[in-house]
Amino acid sequence: MEFVIEFINIRKDFKNKTILKDISLKINKGELVAIIGSSGCGKTTTLKMINRLINPTSGKIFINGEDIASKDVIKLRRNIGYVIQQTGLFPHLTIRENIQIIPKVEKLDKANVEKKTIELMEMVGLSSDEFLDRYPTELSGGQQQRVGVARAFAINPEIILMDEPFSALDPITRVQLQEELIDLQSKLKRTIVFVTHDMDEAIKIADKICIMNKGEIIQYDTPENILKNPINDFVNEFIGKNRIWSSPEFIRAKDIMIDHPVTCFKNTSLLRCIEKMRSSKVDSLMVIDKENYLLGITTAKEIQNKSDRNILVEEIMNTKFINVKPDDSIIGILETVKKHKIGQVPVLDDKGVLKGIITKSSLVTTLSSQFLDTEEVK
């Protein structure tokens, strides 16, 4: 995959203190990467190196394979959108003038710039007629931040840097802007580097999360992998023990299924099926072929209704069964179990091969372990 941003052994020393310790990082084109950590961990320093607001003590940063140290810094910055917590809007300029400042410096066509400005205002949910001729002080904090986002997109940049842009806003406005950013990113697919100190925000918006501590990258992965597999105690404590339960869509069938369900072949007699159920302490069997494809399901109740126990299971097995995929979320699985009033759900891959089974008891065990963990934390 083509890397749009790459840090190689970046170190930053300031007044005999090391701010960044030889970090290396690759950010793919079109990804939204959240850099997160406690105050003083180096996350904002890392962000500001991308547009050379801060220069490294050693190491190199490449954008599209080009060393940014060799680029003209003004041209570099004009091609990178930048949104900060305080919006950075010029108070003496109207909203229109704020959005158009870089396009005008670049001497772009006036008619196109005006058209683009109206599109940008629409994109961030503000009325052009109502807001373009106002000044920043006449807008709320949330409205100003929307203008800041619009200005960052004005030059159609490939890269956008966002330094805690929503942290000063009230919770409702913050959630609205997070959702708008997710929607924008799904349409425009820019490469966005987003600094935050809020793990919930990072999980919600990011394709990948970079957790930093004391100038080092501790873990860099997808939100799902970080939630399920924190690399060490620091990450585990940082994300919070039960954080996965605030994002249940990341809990998949493959995480909670019974890996080796009790099975039989279609030419097994009902008598042997009952014996197998008793010895394995289950009330159903998955009927498979030699390649592990699921052919049907039979239950103890169905077998007990048959007087002839010598017939083969293929004659009575249920071939119309509900199933889920390994990557289906626990939310959908719970809805499926409830809707169809079933006691077990086989987990099949795309080819129909049996990978596991989810039972009501395995769901209860999963949910109760979360409850017990929560009680322990209390």
DSSP string, 101-122: HHHHHTT--HHHHHHHHHHHHH
Nearest to 219 by CA among 204, 201, 205, 202: 202
- Residue 194 C-alpha from the chain's centroid: 13
Report the alpha-carbon angle 293-296-301, nearest 5. 145
One digit per residue, the tens of pLDDT, for the chain of length 378 reads 567 899 999 999 988 888 999 999 999 999 999 999 888 888 999 999 999 999 999 999 999 989 999 998 988 888 898 888 776 788 899 999 899 888 888 788 888 888 889 988 888 888 888 899 999 888 888 888 888 888 888 888 889 999 888 887 787 888 888 888 888 888 888 899 999 988 888 888 899 999 999 899 999 998 888 887 888 888 888 776 555 555 666 778 887 788 888 899 999 999 999 999 888 888 889 999 999 999 999 988 888 888 888 899 999 999 988 899 988 888 788 888 888 878 788 999 999 999 999 887 667 666 655 544 444 433
CA atoms within 13 A on the CB side of 144: 20
Q: Is 37 left (phi over 0), alpha (psi -120 to 50) or beta?
A: left
CB of 89 closer than 8 Å to CB of 98:
yes
The residue behind tokens 């959005």 is: 99
**Is the pTM here over 0.75, yes or no?**
no
Task: Say what the pLDDT of residue 68 is.
Answer: 93
Number of H helices, E strands in the chain: 15, 15
Annotate 47-102 with three-state secondary structure: HHHHCCCCCCCEEEEEECCEEHHHCCHHHHHHCEEEEECCCCCCCCCCHHHHHHHH
At 342, give phi and psi (nearest 5°): -115, 150
DSSP of 168-190, one letter per residue?
TS-HHHHHHHHHHHHHHHHHH--
Residue carrying structure tokens 């503000």: 126
Quote the pLDDT of residue 364: 67
Structure tokens at 7: 């840090």
Task: Report in angstroms the alpha-carbon separations of 205 from 9, 126, 196, 217, 223.
Answer: 27, 22, 11, 20, 9
Distance separating alpha carbons of residues 313 and 66, to the nearest angstrom: 66
- All structural domains of the chain, each given as residue ranges with its CATH number in brackets, are 3-250 (3.40.50.300), 254-366 (3.10.580.10)
DSSP calls for 256-322: HSBSS--EEETT-BHHHHHHHHHHHT-SEEEEE-TT-BEEEEEEHHHHHT-S-TTSBGGGT-B----
* Amino acid found at 110: K
Q: Is residue 192 classed as helix, strand or coil in its secondary structure?
A: strand
Structure tokens at 264: 């039989």
Q: Under a CB-based contact definition with an 8 Å cutoff, are residues 50 and 5 in contact?
A: yes
The partner residues of 293 in beta bridges, in order of sequence, read: 353
pLDDT of residue 372: 41
3-state DSSP assignment of residue 219: strand
Structure token pair of residue 17: 């203190």
User: What Rg do the C-alpha atoms of the chain give, in angstroms?
Assistant: 28
Residues 204, 182 contacting (CB under 8 angstroms): yes
| Helix (H/G/I), strand (E/B), else coil: 125 | coil
